[in-house]
Amino acid sequence: MKIPRGVLAVVLAGALVAAGCSSNGDSADAVPEPNESSSDANAEQSAEIDPVQFRRDVRVLWEDHVAWTRLFIVSAVADLPDTDATAARLLQNQADIGDAVAGFYGDEAGAQLEALLRDHILIAGDLIAAAKAGDNPKVEDRSAAWYANADEISELLASANPAWPVDTLKDMMRGHLDQTLAEATAQLAGDYEASVTEYAHITTHILEMADTLADGIITQFPERFSESTVPASEVEFNDAVRVLWTDHVAWTRLFIVSAVADLPDTDATAARLLQNQADIGDAVAGFYGDDAGAQLEALLRDHIVIAGELIAAAKAGDNAQVEDRSAAWYANADEIAQFLAGANPAWPVGTLQDMMRGHLDQTLDEATAQLTGDFEASVAEYDHIATHILQMADTLADGIITQFPDRFAA
């Protein structure tokens, strides 16, 4: 059955709502000292790196890491046909992190870290396969290798930067592995609520780790960075808004994957997506009052509920219900844009509608590709969505900062 584009839009389960508002044992050798002339040239070219944006870029790399890890766990545990495409995107994240390191420590260091991170992913895949097969000896072997690999990563990083004590890095890396293992174990055991909850711990921890790594680089290479003039209160608020909307698109994709494949974790995933709408409502209430927060949450919740109804209609081949729910979905989106524009003059309704439609188009392409089995395209479209959502988050955060300057006084 050919599903109309409008139907697919609703299947996205609230993605539009966001508009309102990326071894070998030898690899652990010490990182070689950067070539002096190369380092000087790089410094001359990049002496004005914005430290706030750099810190956010590092966060994006590690948020990608945990989001694609969860997507891989979900797909691999369920033997979904998108597993290979998801694994390839997860491995690309390791290359992206290696490239980021190479920009400060050289290509050899970047390649060493990429190799270790690639092993980190491949060993995790072996662990999942062994656990599914009930091969306990292999589970023990791969688990030991996984933690040894984490120590190698820590040792490599510590050798590169005195601001990264090896014991601190080992604790962070092992904590990350402990949390990911708990997440995967819960998913394998069918305890989906626990799996969902564990991911919240993972995302909080990975941001702390990203900030530690970014701050270490800024400390080691002060000549590469400009002085930030943005008050810390504004930075922290903007970062919190980014977390809300990154959370939104990550759980939207997880919902799409699970709903399209009829996975048993669909209800738990949808519940977590709905919780994100409550979180957004609470954030709004902090500036516009409880009534406004409740109104926005209700609109966002309707958006998710309509999406679920549209999925059911599309799978049943009920075209009349599909058209009805699609029209309701678009009307709900307009209400969200109008509601937000009415709250803040820094958010013109036309701007909000343009952002929402752009996000909708991207997520439509993502869902269409997932539904038709073009998993590489679905994966690629999510990268566009993740970039766009951060632009929208920044727009929303800037609007609130502009409207409530006294709340952000230094």
pLDDT band per the 50, 70, 90 thresholds, residue 316: confident
Supply the pLDDT for residue 360.
76
Least confident range of 87-91, 251-255, 267-271, 321-325: 321-325
Q: Would you state the torsion angle of the CA atoms of residues 369, 370, 375, 376, taken in this order, to the nearest 10 degrees?
A: 40
Q: Which amino acid is at 13?
A: A
CA atoms within 13 A on the CB side of 165: 3
Residue 174 vs residues 115, 144, 146, 153, 178: alpha-carbon distances, Å: 18, 12, 10, 11, 6
> What are the DSSP calls for 234-259, one per residue?
HHHHHHHHHHHHHHHHHHHHHHHHHH
Q: Is the pLDDT of residue 274 over 70?
A: yes
pLDDT, tens only, 386-400? 999 999 999 999 999
C-alpha 387/C-alpha 395 separation (Å) is 13
Q: Is the pLDDT of residue 2 over 90?
A: no
Q: Which amino acid is at 285?
A: A
Dihedral pair phi/psi, residue 49, rounded to 5°: -65, 130
Per-position b or e across 372-388, b if 16+ CB within 10 A of its CB: eebbebbbebbebbbeb
C-alpha 406/C-alpha 404 separation (Å) is 6
User: Average pLDDT, stretch 139-154?
Assistant: 97
Q: By the 8 A CB rule, do 153 and 173 touch?
A: yes
pLDDT band per the 50, 70, 90 thresholds, residue 9: very low
C-alpha 400/C-alpha 237 separation (Å) is 10
The alpha carbon dihedral of 293, 298, 300, 304 has a sign of positive
Only one residue has tokens 């797909």, namely 75
Least confident range of 44-48, 161-165, 226-230, 301-305: 44-48
Q: Is the pLDDT of residue 299 over 60?
A: yes
Query: Among candidates 210, 88, 90, which has minimal Cα distance to 157?
Result: 210
Least confident range of 130-134, 147-151, 188-192, 300-304: 300-304
Q: Is the pLDDT of residue 7 over 70?
A: no
Dihedral pair phi/psi, residue 225, rounded to 5°: -120, 140
Q: Is the pLDDT of residue 40 over 50?
A: no
This prediction has a pTM of: 0.87
pLDDT band per the 50, 70, 90 thresholds, residue 47: low
Q: Would you state the torsion angle of the CA atoms of residues 380, 59, 195, 142, taken in this order, to the nearest 10 degrees?
A: 90
Least confident range of 285-289, 323-327, 346-350: 323-327
DSSP state of 25: G
Residue 88 vs residues 22, 71, 92, 243: alpha-carbon distances, Å: 12, 12, 6, 25
More confident residue, 42 or 249: 249
- Two structure tokens written together for 86: 């998801």
C-alpha 226/C-alpha 248 separation (Å) is 32
Residue 262: other Cβ atoms inside 10 A: 10
Q: Is the pLDDT of residue 269 over 50?
A: yes
- Two structure tokens written together for 403: 């409207």
Q: Which amino acid is at 340?
A: L
